[in-house]
Structure 1
């Protein structure tokens, strides 16, 4: 027996105290920075999951829990629940009035970071990809996977059945050269980086066998570069625009979570699928 909170955390793979407190701190940084590192201790956290509480948590904990699960009241989160976590259905959001301000106007956007570096400090790829079963990525060189995530971790994901689709700006195309000029790089810098990253993933893929349950798909496209898109488990979307004369690592980063209402999550899933449909295998040398 456990609580609704326990089941919802299992849905998001946040059922350990360390993973929960990382999410707690991420929300606290955006909402109430003074609460960072103020999440529940281990014993308290597992009492929350078991329902072994005589009263609701302190107000500051309740505020973070409410931000984490806006579709549920705090009382509902601590109700008993013994079913399958997948059986829980989010409550429909109340209608928004035209004058509503604050979080309601952000649709399904749950976090905004000034730069990719800020995003990666709050949501490192080791955490973002840890339990993913599907990862879709489109952009320029896909450094978050190729440079900030280890080969052994990629192999581990493939061995557990993860499907990874990677869409690179074609290093043999014209648009990557236009981007080099726009960012003020020497000719060939982005081309060589992207080529290296593709070869890195090809090397990782060669370590797998025909019986490996997961798959690593690598394709290229040659279009004006507009967005860096990462979609995890068809649930969370990380999106960055490519800014004029600005490196991708310095661009603002948006995180959206799939919801029942309109938002950017569906928009960028559609963008990715359209780009993937128009992409191609890279020609072998």
Structure 2
């Protein structure tokens, strides 16, 4: 297995396609079939699941099969998602297939549900999503998913390359922080101290070390409002949402992955509005 990848991954690598490039090519081909297929390209999470050969609901839906086979002539969908030796030429594909509709909901933007943060991180390449992002908006308590899972230098590199960050923390000195500490069973000051550390990291080890022209791409604020969700929005398309539950640490909360679709599905829009509302009332730092 060490010498094998999924065929579609080999083909994408052979063409040097990024996620953005793949979507652009997809949209051109989809428009040639039917204008109603505009915006039908896979979301970040679905794209990276395809690269792993992960078809949780069976084959992609019929329209997606048509687009994929047009993108990779001579390859059936079965062959695209089959193991492929790294030593073979990925352009040598052939065969027929039967198309069946996917069980995947067509009009929903809920792309996945994970029972904990570790499960989410093991199955979804958040790093790769952020690596290609233009803007990352995040609100929550301490924002550990960003501040503790990414090296300072890595975040600075992204910012210097053009990625913008809007980061909203729970105010360590607020009553809402004390309430959350009680809910999680911690002594007063425990979560506040962790949040202070993360705030210091982002202000002193990231933003202050950026070049002057890049520094304005990192916006930091604090909110004193009751905390209900941890929200990470990547560009205008992908959302990672975790509720704050009584008696449960954030790491143990279910994680929802939502991806904005052109038609149907309002989850992403809902949490985008929540973030915007919190940001407007926040105190900038």
Q: Give TM-score, length-normalised by structure 1.
A: 0.69
State the 1:107 CA deviation.
1.5
Query: RMSD in angstroms over aligned alpha carbons?
Result: 3.4
Alignment partner, residue 159 of structure 2: 158
Alignment partner, residue 245 of structure 1: 247
Using a 3 Å threshold, how does the CA distance of structure 1 residues 119 and 25 change in structure 2: closer, same or farther?
A: farther
Q: Does 1:235 align with 2:237?
A: yes
What are the ranges of 5 or more consecutive residues in structure 2 without an aligned counterpart?
1-10, 27-44, 60-67, 83-101
Deviation beyond 4 Å, 4+ runs, structure 1: 6-9, 11-15, 19-22, 48-52
- C-alpha contact (below 8 Å) 2:208/2:215 kept by paired residues: no
State the 1:61 CA deviation.
2.6
- C-alpha contact (below 8 Å) 2:49/2:55 kept by paired residues: no
**Which residue, out of 7, 10, 21, partners 2:21?**
10
Q: Does 1:24 align with 2:50?
A: yes
Residue by residue over 1:80-122, the C-alpha shift from the partner in whole angstroms, topping out at 9 and shown as x without a partner, is xxxxxxxxxxxxxxxxxxxxx9532871111111111111111
**Which residue, out of 207, 210, 213, partners 2:209?**
207
- C-alpha contact (below 8 Å) 1:137/1:166 kept by paired residues: yes
After TM superposition, the structure 1 = structure 2 runs for residues 41-190 of structure 1, keeping only pairs within 5 Å, are 53-58=73-78, 61=81, 103-104=104-105, 107-190=108-191
Alignment partner, residue 224 of structure 2: 222
Alignment partner, residue 273 of structure 2: 270
For 1:14 and 1:250, the matched residues in 2 are separated by 39
- C-alpha contact (below 8 Å) 2:223/2:278 kept by paired residues: yes
Using a 3 Å threshold, how does the CA distance of structure 1 residues 118 and 25 change in structure 2: closer, same or farther?
A: farther
- C-alpha contact (below 8 Å) 2:57/2:103 kept by paired residues: no
For 1:61 and 1:120, the matched residues in 2 are separated by 23
Paired residue secondary structure (2:191) = helix
- C-alpha contact (below 8 Å) 2:69/2:77 kept by paired residues: no
Using a 3 Å threshold, how does the CA distance of structure 1 residues 213 and 198 change in structure 2: closer, same or farther?
A: closer
What are the ranges of 5 or more consecutive residues in structure 1 without an aligned counterpart?
36-47, 63-100
Using a 3 Å threshold, how does the CA distance of structure 1 residues 55 and 132 change in structure 2: closer, same or farther?
A: closer
Using a 3 Å threshold, how does the CA distance of structure 1 residues 189 and 132 change in structure 2: closer, same or farther?
A: same
Q: Does 1:259 align with 2:261?
A: yes
- C-alpha contact (below 8 Å) 1:125/1:148 kept by paired residues: no
Q: Give TM-score, length-normalised by structure 2.
A: 0.69
Paired residue secondary structure (1:103) = coil
- C-alpha contact (below 8 Å) 1:258/1:265 kept by paired residues: yes
For 2:18 and 2:198, the matched residues in 1 are separated by 38
Residue by residue over 1:231-259, the C-alpha shift from the partner in whole angstroms, topping out at 9 and shown as x without a partner, is 00111011111111100111111111111
For 2:25 and 2:182, the matched residues in 1 are separated by 43
Using a 3 Å threshold, how does the CA distance of structure 1 residues 281 and 131 change in structure 2: closer, same or farther?
A: same
Using a 3 Å threshold, how does the CA distance of structure 1 residues 49 and 103 change in structure 2: closer, same or farther?
A: closer
State the 1:12 CA deviation.
5.4
For 1:180 and 1:212, the matched residues in 2 are separated by 35
State the 1:184 CA deviation.
0.4
